[in-house]
Structure 1
Amino acid sequence: MSGLRVQDVTVTRGAGPVIRDVAFTLEPGRITALVGPNGAGKTSLLESISGVVPAASGSVSIDGTDITKQSRVARAKLGLAHIEQGRAVFPGLTVVENLKLTARTWPRVEEVLALFPELEKRRNSPTALLSGGEQQMVVLARAFAARPRYLLIDEMSLGLAPVVFTRLLPMVTRFAEEGAAILLVEQFTHLALGVSQDALVVSSGRVTFQGTAKELLDAPETLHSAYLGE
């Protein structure tokens, strides 16, 4: 059975659950947009999938293998990568050195750099000297270099101008076209839905909509209600 399956996952933080009985499957080659208001539990859900925080109940599996109790490192070895909020670059390392942390071969580094012309020009520059948009490209390129089969992206646009984010989205699409399954959390909801095949709406910790991205785009009242917490 191929795919990353989340089955009835509940995540508890502080006084109580922030995610309740969430279930869905990520399929290879497809992008799923996960949308909802701030505080809905989207980040906690991604962190429970990648192993940053434990699930209070439920299960997560990759291609039929239960990974619910496995460490983050073990999940990564099975092909799961998580781009967390913010720009998690190593500022003292150059662009190439950042990519070598995840790329298994030198040809893969060169292959990824070819996808990002801006980074190719700055390949030997410390990432601390790069612009915010360029640093976000490094984060995305480093994930691509690892060739994960399942990729979780949490607010890739955080701190970026919409025009920069729009330029990064085609890279996500291309990665999916290469066979990766992607779960995309993004504040620019309509842009995220525009590149996604599937969609989930999470409100108050629960899934309130599950279907295709087109269905959600064609039902603005559903999306509006979700952001109002209704």
Structure 2
Amino acid sequence: MNALELESVTVSRGAGPVISDVSLRVEPGRITALVGPNGAGKTSLLESVSGIVDASGGRIVVDGEPIGKLSRVQRARRGIVHIEQGRAIFPSLTVQENIRLTAGTQRGVEEALAQFPELEKRRGSASGLLSGGEQQMVVLARAFASKPRYLLIDEMSLGLAPVVFMRLLPMIKQFSESGVGVLLVEQFTHLALGVATDALVVAGGRVTYQGSAADLQASPEVLHHAYLGG
């Protein structure tokens, strides 16, 4: 079965590991929320999947193929798209010019804008003039235009109010509904669990909970213990 799989992955930075022996599985059409306290190693884990950093142990497998020796570009060509922290846009370029960078063709731009109608009316505006929420919509539209198979999203809510981030959640869900596997790292835990099908809590560099997102959301005491590494 097709899936993005991490098998006992360890990621080290500086003196020692920031992630130790983490295993997870992201299937097409499902959203896995990766949550945990600050400094738990969530960003490092995503970076090991997309190739920004090398895993120091374990295996990363995409649809049955180990990708640990592939470059970041090669992983992207296999459908791994990583939305990093911050607003990865070119502020001086218009909305449609930003999307064209990954779409390649005007047809691809139009297909992306059809999925993000709020951007249609701003297509000719410089992206740097958009609100924070609109800029993140541009980031999502660019990701859509690149036709991902697995989408890694790292703290899209950074710098946004929860009510603004809530506008992005249905757009993130669109990816899973179209068959994309999504691995979502998010500081607003309750919002991430609300949109996710599966959940993974990482604390102290290790997995402290793995299972249903709905079950975790319904059990505050389990989430509390998971965050404390219990």
What root-mean-square deviation, in Å, do the aligned CA atoms of Structure 1 and Structure 2 show? 1.1
What's the TM-score, normalizing by structure 2?
Answer: 0.97
Offset of residue 199 of structure 1: 0.4
Instruction: Determine the structure 1 residue equivalent to 2:73.
Output: 73
Answering whether residue 113 of structure 2 is matched by residue 121 of structure 1, we say no
Instruction: Determine the structure 1 residue equivalent to 2:86.
Output: 86
Structure 2 contact 31–196 (Cα < 8 Å) conserved: yes
Instruction: Determine the structure 1 residue equivalent to 2:183.
Output: 183
Equivalent residue letter for 2:94:
T
What's the TM-score, normalizing by structure 1?
Answer: 0.97
Instruction: Determine the structure 2 residue equivalent to 1:25.
Output: 25
Instruction: Determine the structure 2 residue equivalent to 1:64.
Output: 64
Offset of residue 104 of structure 1: 3.9
Structure 1 contact 11–55 (Cα < 8 Å) conserved: yes
Residues in 2 aligned to 1:107 and 1:21: alpha-carbon distance in whole angstroms: 43
Equivalent residue letter for 1:221:
E
Instruction: Determine the structure 1 residue equivalent to 2:132.
Output: 132
What whole-Å deviation, never above 9, does each CA across 1:102-133 have from its counterpart, x for those lacking one? 11432221122122233111111111111111
Q: Percent identity?
A: 70
Larger deviation, residues 118-127 vs 151-160: 118-127
- Secondary structure at the residue paired with 1:10? strand
Instruction: Determine the structure 1 residue equivalent to 2:4.
Output: 4
Residues in 1 aligned to 2:147 and 2:171: alpha-carbon distance in whole angstroms: 13
What whole-Å deviation, never above 9, does each CA across 1:75-112 have from its counterpart, x for those lacking one? 00000000000001011211111101111432221122
Larger deviation, residues 67-76 vs 119-128: 119-128
Equivalent residue letter for 1:70:
L
User: Any unmatched runs of 5+ in structure 2?
Assistant: none
Instruction: Determine the structure 2 residue equivalent to 1:218.
Output: 218
Structure 2 contact 9–23 (Cα < 8 Å) conserved: yes
Runs of 4+ in 1 over 3 A off after TM superposition: none
Answering whether residue 64 of structure 2 is matched by residue 41 of structure 1, we say no
Instruction: Determine the structure 2 residue equivalent to 1:173.
Output: 173
- Secondary structure at the residue paired with 2:103? coil
- Secondary structure at the residue paired with 1:142? helix
- Secondary structure at the residue paired with 1:102? helix
Answering whether residue 209 of structure 2 is matched by residue 209 of structure 1, we say yes
Structure 1 contact 96–124 (Cα < 8 Å) conserved: yes
User: Any unmatched runs of 5+ in structure 1?
Assistant: none
Residues in 1 aligned to 2:114 and 2:77: alpha-carbon distance in whole angstroms: 25
Residues in 1 aligned to 2:173 and 2:104: alpha-carbon distance in whole angstroms: 22
